[in-house]
Amino acid sequence: MTSTPDSSAMQLFDCRDAYMSALEEMAAADTRVCAVANDSLSSAKLKNFKAKFPDRFVNVGIAEQNMVGIGAGLANGGMVPYVCGASCFLTARAMEQVKVDLAYTRANVKLCAMSPGMAYGQLGPTHHSIEDLAWMRVLPNLAVIVPADPIETTAAMRYSLVHEGPMFLRIARVPVPRVHDDKYDFKLGRAVKLREGSDVTLIANGLLVARALDAARALEARGVSARVLNMSTVKPLDREAILDAAQATRGIVTAEEALAAGGLGGAVAEVVAQAHPIPMRTLGVPDTFAPTGTAEFLLEHFGLTAAGIEYAALELLGKEEK
Protein backbone atom coordinates (compact mmCIF):
# COMPACT_ATOMS: atom_id res chain seq x y z
CA MET A 1 0.00 0.00 0.00
CA THR A 2 2.83 2.38 0.71
CA SER A 3 6.21 2.75 -0.90
CA THR A 4 7.83 4.48 2.06
CA PRO A 5 11.06 2.67 2.83
CA ASP A 6 11.62 0.98 6.15
CA SER A 7 12.45 3.66 8.73
CA SER A 8 15.58 1.83 9.87
CA ALA A 9 17.27 2.87 6.63
CA MET A 10 16.37 6.54 7.02
CA GLN A 11 18.25 9.53 8.39
CA LEU A 12 17.63 10.16 12.06
CA PHE A 13 17.03 13.52 13.78
CA ASP A 14 17.26 14.91 17.30
CA CYS A 15 13.98 16.83 17.68
CA ARG A 16 15.69 19.30 19.99
CA ASP A 17 17.33 20.87 16.94
CA ALA A 18 13.94 21.55 15.38
CA TYR A 19 12.57 22.94 18.67
CA MET A 20 15.57 25.20 19.11
CA SER A 21 15.44 26.55 15.54
CA ALA A 22 11.73 27.24 15.85
CA LEU A 23 12.19 29.00 19.18
CA GLU A 24 14.92 31.27 17.80
CA GLU A 25 12.86 32.00 14.70
CA MET A 26 9.82 32.93 16.82
CA ALA A 27 11.88 35.07 19.19
CA ALA A 28 13.28 36.99 16.23
CA ALA A 29 9.77 37.66 14.94
CA ASP A 30 7.93 38.30 18.21
CA THR A 31 9.41 40.27 21.12
CA ARG A 32 7.04 38.57 23.58
CA VAL A 33 8.89 35.28 23.18
CA CYS A 34 11.36 34.55 25.96
CA ALA A 35 13.03 31.46 27.37
CA VAL A 36 13.40 30.24 30.94
CA ALA A 37 15.97 27.60 31.79
CA ASN A 38 17.02 25.66 34.86
CA ASP A 39 20.75 25.59 34.12
CA SER A 40 19.69 23.54 31.10
CA LEU A 41 21.62 25.48 28.49
CA SER A 42 23.14 22.39 26.93
CA SER A 43 20.38 19.86 27.44
CA ALA A 44 17.73 22.31 26.23
CA LYS A 45 20.05 23.69 23.51
CA LEU A 46 19.61 27.28 24.63
CA LYS A 47 23.18 28.59 24.31
CA ASN A 48 22.50 30.19 20.96
CA PHE A 49 19.21 31.65 22.17
CA LYS A 50 21.01 33.25 25.10
CA ALA A 51 23.61 34.74 22.79
CA LYS A 52 21.02 36.08 20.35
CA PHE A 53 18.43 37.29 22.86
CA PRO A 54 20.23 37.92 26.16
CA ASP A 55 17.49 40.25 27.44
CA ARG A 56 14.84 37.59 26.92
CA PHE A 57 16.67 34.71 28.46
CA VAL A 58 16.29 33.83 32.14
CA ASN A 59 18.36 31.18 33.83
CA VAL A 60 16.96 30.48 37.29
CA GLY A 61 19.59 27.92 38.12
CA ILE A 62 18.60 24.55 39.47
CA ALA A 63 15.18 25.52 40.78
CA GLU A 64 12.21 24.04 38.94
CA GLN A 65 9.35 25.22 41.17
CA ASN A 66 10.69 28.73 40.85
CA MET A 67 11.17 28.26 37.11
CA VAL A 68 7.51 27.41 36.48
CA GLY A 69 6.29 30.18 38.81
CA ILE A 70 8.50 32.65 36.97
CA GLY A 71 6.95 31.45 33.73
CA ALA A 72 3.51 32.27 35.13
CA GLY A 73 4.70 35.72 36.20
CA LEU A 74 6.24 36.42 32.79
CA ALA A 75 2.92 35.50 31.19
CA ASN A 76 1.10 37.77 33.65
CA GLY A 77 3.36 40.56 32.43
CA GLY A 78 2.50 39.95 28.77
CA MET A 79 5.42 37.78 27.69
CA VAL A 80 5.16 34.32 26.12
CA PRO A 81 7.66 32.23 28.05
CA TYR A 82 9.07 28.92 26.87
CA VAL A 83 10.07 27.11 30.04
CA CYS A 84 12.63 24.51 29.05
CA GLY A 85 14.06 21.75 31.18
CA ALA A 86 14.44 18.00 31.45
CA SER A 87 10.96 16.51 31.59
CA CYS A 88 11.67 14.42 34.68
CA PHE A 89 12.35 17.55 36.79
CA LEU A 90 10.04 19.96 35.01
CA THR A 91 7.02 17.80 35.70
CA ALA A 92 7.67 16.02 38.99
CA ARG A 93 9.52 18.77 40.80
CA ALA A 94 7.15 21.54 39.78
CA MET A 95 3.87 19.64 39.65
CA GLU A 96 1.93 21.98 41.95
CA GLN A 97 3.16 25.03 40.05
CA VAL A 98 2.12 23.40 36.79
CA LYS A 99 -1.30 22.61 38.26
CA VAL A 100 -2.03 25.93 39.95
CA ASP A 101 0.11 28.61 38.30
CA LEU A 102 -0.27 27.31 34.74
CA ALA A 103 -3.17 24.91 34.23
CA TYR A 104 -5.77 26.37 36.59
CA THR A 105 -4.67 29.92 35.78
CA ARG A 106 -4.67 29.20 32.02
CA ALA A 107 -1.33 31.01 31.93
CA ASN A 108 0.11 31.46 28.47
CA VAL A 109 3.22 29.43 29.26
CA LYS A 110 4.80 26.74 27.07
CA LEU A 111 6.59 23.93 28.84
CA CYS A 112 9.27 22.37 26.65
CA ALA A 113 9.99 19.04 28.27
CA MET A 114 13.37 17.85 27.10
CA SER A 115 14.78 14.34 26.98
CA PRO A 116 11.53 12.68 28.03
CA GLY A 117 10.69 9.02 28.29
CA MET A 118 13.80 6.89 28.54
CA ALA A 119 16.19 9.23 26.74
CA TYR A 120 18.33 9.29 29.88
CA GLY A 121 18.11 5.52 30.08
CA GLN A 122 21.60 4.90 31.42
CA LEU A 123 21.17 7.50 34.15
CA GLY A 124 18.61 5.36 35.91
CA PRO A 125 14.97 5.64 36.98
CA THR A 126 15.48 9.01 38.72
CA HIS A 127 16.14 10.54 35.32
CA HIS A 128 13.58 8.58 33.32
CA SER A 129 10.44 10.52 32.58
CA ILE A 130 7.90 7.84 31.89
CA GLU A 131 5.28 9.25 34.28
CA ASP A 132 5.05 12.69 32.67
CA LEU A 133 2.25 11.97 30.20
CA ALA A 134 -0.03 10.58 32.89
CA TRP A 135 0.69 13.49 35.22
CA MET A 136 0.25 16.18 32.61
CA ARG A 137 -2.77 14.62 30.95
CA VAL A 138 -4.94 14.78 34.06
CA LEU A 139 -4.59 18.55 34.38
CA PRO A 140 -7.53 20.46 32.90
CA ASN A 141 -6.67 23.30 30.47
CA LEU A 142 -3.19 21.97 29.71
CA ALA A 143 -2.58 20.92 26.11
CA VAL A 144 -0.22 17.94 25.93
CA ILE A 145 1.71 17.32 22.71
CA VAL A 146 4.19 14.60 21.81
CA PRO A 147 5.65 15.36 18.37
CA ALA A 148 6.74 12.39 16.29
CA ASP A 149 9.53 13.91 14.25
CA PRO A 150 11.42 17.15 13.58
CA ILE A 151 8.80 18.40 11.13
CA GLU A 152 6.01 17.99 13.64
CA THR A 153 8.20 19.48 16.37
CA THR A 154 8.68 22.64 14.30
CA ALA A 155 4.98 22.80 13.42
CA ALA A 156 3.87 22.29 17.03
CA MET A 157 6.32 24.93 18.27
CA ARG A 158 5.01 27.45 15.73
CA TYR A 159 1.45 26.59 16.69
CA SER A 160 2.24 27.08 20.38
CA LEU A 161 2.81 30.79 19.85
CA VAL A 162 -0.67 31.36 18.47
CA HIS A 163 -2.31 29.09 21.05
CA GLU A 164 -3.53 31.14 24.01
CA GLY A 165 -2.95 29.03 27.12
CA PRO A 166 -0.59 26.56 28.73
CA MET A 167 1.00 23.77 26.70
CA PHE A 168 3.27 20.85 27.44
CA LEU A 169 5.52 19.92 24.52
CA ARG A 170 7.48 16.71 24.89
CA ILE A 171 10.63 17.15 22.83
CA ALA A 172 12.34 13.87 21.90
CA ARG A 173 16.07 13.45 22.31
CA VAL A 174 16.22 9.85 21.07
CA PRO A 175 16.84 10.20 17.30
CA VAL A 176 13.83 9.63 15.07
CA PRO A 177 13.26 9.42 11.31
CA ARG A 178 10.88 11.77 9.53
CA VAL A 179 7.32 10.51 9.31
CA HIS A 180 5.79 13.70 7.91
CA ASP A 181 6.60 15.65 4.78
CA ASP A 182 7.44 19.34 4.63
CA LYS A 183 3.83 20.32 3.96
CA TYR A 184 2.67 18.86 7.25
CA ASP A 185 0.26 21.14 9.11
CA PHE A 186 -0.06 20.56 12.86
CA LYS A 187 -3.57 20.85 14.25
CA LEU A 188 -4.08 20.67 18.00
CA GLY A 189 -6.33 17.80 19.00
CA ARG A 190 -6.27 16.22 15.56
CA ALA A 191 -4.70 12.82 15.00
CA VAL A 192 -3.01 12.27 11.66
CA LYS A 193 -3.88 9.16 9.70
CA LEU A 194 -0.53 8.10 8.25
CA ARG A 195 -1.81 4.86 6.81
CA GLU A 196 -5.26 3.52 6.05
CA GLY A 197 -6.16 0.04 7.24
CA SER A 198 -9.18 -2.13 7.91
CA ASP A 199 -8.12 -4.92 10.31
CA VAL A 200 -6.43 -3.17 13.19
CA THR A 201 -5.47 0.37 14.22
CA LEU A 202 -2.07 1.29 15.58
CA ILE A 203 -2.15 4.52 17.59
CA ALA A 204 1.20 5.95 18.60
CA ASN A 205 2.98 9.19 19.34
CA GLY A 206 6.53 10.43 19.66
CA LEU A 207 9.24 8.04 18.58
CA LEU A 208 6.78 5.13 18.47
CA VAL A 209 5.07 6.54 15.36
CA ALA A 210 7.88 5.50 13.02
CA ARG A 211 7.90 2.09 14.67
CA ALA A 212 4.14 1.75 14.24
CA LEU A 213 4.57 2.50 10.53
CA ASP A 214 7.23 -0.20 10.30
CA ALA A 215 4.91 -2.59 12.11
CA ALA A 216 2.12 -1.78 9.66
CA ARG A 217 4.39 -2.63 6.75
CA ALA A 218 5.34 -5.92 8.36
CA LEU A 219 1.67 -6.68 9.05
CA GLU A 220 0.81 -5.95 5.44
CA ALA A 221 3.28 -8.63 4.38
CA ARG A 222 1.32 -11.02 6.57
CA GLY A 223 -1.94 -9.96 4.98
CA VAL A 224 -3.08 -7.78 7.87
CA SER A 225 -4.26 -4.28 7.03
CA ALA A 226 -3.25 -1.83 9.77
CA ARG A 227 -4.35 1.76 10.10
CA VAL A 228 -1.73 4.03 11.68
CA LEU A 229 -2.63 7.17 13.61
CA ASN A 230 -0.11 9.68 14.90
CA MET A 231 -1.88 10.89 18.02
CA SER A 232 0.61 13.59 18.92
CA THR A 233 -1.97 15.52 20.88
CA VAL A 234 -2.74 13.52 24.00
CA LYS A 235 -4.89 16.38 25.25
CA PRO A 236 -7.32 17.51 23.93
CA LEU A 237 -7.81 14.01 22.60
CA ASP A 238 -9.09 13.30 19.07
CA ARG A 239 -12.12 11.35 20.17
CA GLU A 240 -13.53 11.20 16.65
CA ALA A 241 -10.44 9.53 15.22
CA ILE A 242 -10.50 6.95 18.02
CA LEU A 243 -14.17 6.16 17.55
CA ASP A 244 -13.75 5.94 13.80
CA ALA A 245 -10.91 3.46 14.31
CA ALA A 246 -12.97 1.51 16.83
CA GLN A 247 -15.80 1.22 14.32
CA ALA A 248 -13.73 0.56 11.20
CA THR A 249 -11.19 -1.91 12.57
CA ARG A 250 -11.33 -4.89 14.94
CA GLY A 251 -8.94 -3.67 17.57
CA ILE A 252 -6.58 -0.92 18.67
CA VAL A 253 -2.94 -1.13 19.73
CA THR A 254 -1.47 1.95 21.38
CA ALA A 255 2.27 2.50 21.75
CA GLU A 256 4.14 5.19 23.67
CA GLU A 257 7.48 5.82 25.34
CA ALA A 258 5.87 6.20 28.76
CA LEU A 259 3.91 4.31 31.36
CA ALA A 260 0.93 2.98 29.45
CA ALA A 261 -1.26 3.63 32.49
CA GLY A 262 -2.59 7.14 32.33
CA GLY A 263 -0.76 8.09 29.16
CA LEU A 264 -1.85 7.68 25.55
CA GLY A 265 -2.98 4.10 26.17
CA GLY A 266 -5.07 5.14 29.13
CA ALA A 267 -6.53 8.08 27.24
CA VAL A 268 -7.58 5.97 24.25
CA ALA A 269 -8.94 3.22 26.50
CA GLU A 270 -11.16 5.69 28.34
CA VAL A 271 -12.85 6.62 25.07
CA VAL A 272 -13.05 3.10 23.69
CA ALA A 273 -14.41 1.56 26.91
CA GLN A 274 -17.18 4.10 27.21
CA ALA A 275 -18.21 4.71 23.63
CA HIS A 276 -17.36 1.67 21.52
CA PRO A 277 -15.68 -1.20 23.34
CA ILE A 278 -13.31 -3.25 21.17
CA PRO A 279 -10.18 -5.23 22.08
CA MET A 280 -7.14 -3.11 22.90
CA ARG A 281 -3.50 -3.60 23.74
CA THR A 282 -1.66 -0.72 25.41
CA LEU A 283 2.07 -0.87 24.81
CA GLY A 284 4.34 1.21 26.96
CA VAL A 285 6.18 0.71 30.19
CA PRO A 286 4.12 -1.54 32.45
CA ASP A 287 3.63 -0.78 36.15
CA THR A 288 7.31 -0.71 36.97
CA PHE A 289 10.33 1.56 37.07
CA ALA A 290 12.58 0.87 34.13
CA PRO A 291 16.01 -0.70 34.61
CA THR A 292 19.19 0.98 33.46
CA GLY A 293 20.37 0.87 29.87
CA THR A 294 20.45 2.88 26.68
CA ALA A 295 17.14 4.15 25.39
CA GLU A 296 17.32 1.63 22.57
CA PHE A 297 17.98 -1.20 25.02
CA LEU A 298 15.04 -0.17 27.18
CA LEU A 299 12.69 0.22 24.22
CA GLU A 300 13.62 -3.32 23.17
CA HIS A 301 13.29 -4.48 26.76
CA PHE A 302 9.67 -3.30 26.92
CA GLY A 303 8.80 -4.42 23.41
CA LEU A 304 8.45 -0.86 22.17
CA THR A 305 9.66 -1.83 18.72
CA ALA A 306 8.11 -2.46 15.33
CA ALA A 307 8.22 -6.18 16.09
CA GLY A 308 6.60 -5.63 19.48
CA ILE A 309 3.78 -3.63 17.96
CA GLU A 310 3.37 -6.15 15.16
CA TYR A 311 3.17 -9.02 17.65
CA ALA A 312 0.61 -7.18 19.80
CA ALA A 313 -1.55 -6.57 16.74
CA LEU A 314 -1.39 -10.22 15.65
CA GLU A 315 -2.11 -11.44 19.17
CA LEU A 316 -5.07 -9.08 19.43
CA LEU A 317 -6.45 -10.41 16.13
CA GLY A 318 -5.80 -14.01 17.24
CA LYS A 319 -3.25 -14.51 14.46
CA GLU A 320 -0.06 -14.83 16.44
CA GLU A 321 2.18 -17.76 15.72
CA LYS A 322 1.99 -20.22 18.58
Partner 1 sequence: MRAAVNGSVVDCMSESLPEIPAAAQERAEWLHRKGNWIRLSAMTMNHRAGMGHTGGDLSSADILATLYLGGVLHVDPAKPRWPQRDRFILSKGHGAAAFYSTLAARGFFPVEQLRTYMEPLSMLNGHPDRNKLPGVEANTGPLGHGLPIAVGAALAARMRREPWRIFVMTGDGELQEGSNWEAAMTAQHYGLDNLTMIVDRNRIQQGDFTENTIRMEPLAARFTAFGFATDEIDGHDTGALFERFTHLPIEPGKPSCVIARTVKGKGVSFAENEPAWHHGVPSAEQLHAAAKELGAEVGW
- In this complex, which beta carbon is closest to partner 1, that of residue 62 or of residue 248? 62
If one asks whether residue 100 binds partner 1 (CB under 8 A), the answer comes out as yes
| Contacts (Cβ under 8 Å, ≥6 apart) of 93 | 64, 65
Q: What is the DSSP string of 129-145?
A: B-SHHHHHHTSTT-EEE
Closest distance to partner 1 from the beta carbon of 78 (Å): 6
If one asks whether residue 166 binds partner 1 (CB under 8 A), the answer comes out as no
Q: What's the one-letter identity of residue 262? A: G
- In this complex, which beta carbon is closest to partner 1, that of residue 32 or of residue 301? 32
Burial of 39 (0-12, 13-18, 19+ CB in 10 A): middle
Closest distance to partner 1 from the beta carbon of 86 (Å): 17
Piece in contact with partner 1 (CB under 8 A), picked from 58-66, 197-205, 240-248, 300-308? 58-66
- In this complex, which beta carbon is closest to partner 1, that of residue 72 or of residue 146? 72
Ramachandran quadrant class, 72 (left: phi over 0; alpha: psi -120 to 50; beta: rest): alpha
Piece in contact with partner 1 (CB under 8 A), picked from 9-17, 76-84, 174-182, 200-208? 76-84
Residues numbered 11-40 forming contacts with partner 1, rule: CB under 8 A: 34
Q: Which of 11, 42, 78, 183 binds partner 1 (CB under 8 A)?
A: 78
The closest alpha carbon to 203, from 236, 174, 243, 160, belongs to 243
How many residues bind to partner 1 according to rule CB under 8 A? Answer: 30
**DSSP reduced 3-state for 281:** strand
Provide the binding-site residues for partner 1, judged by CB under 8 A: 34, 55-56, 58, 60-61, 63, 65-79, 81, 96-97, 100-101, 104-106
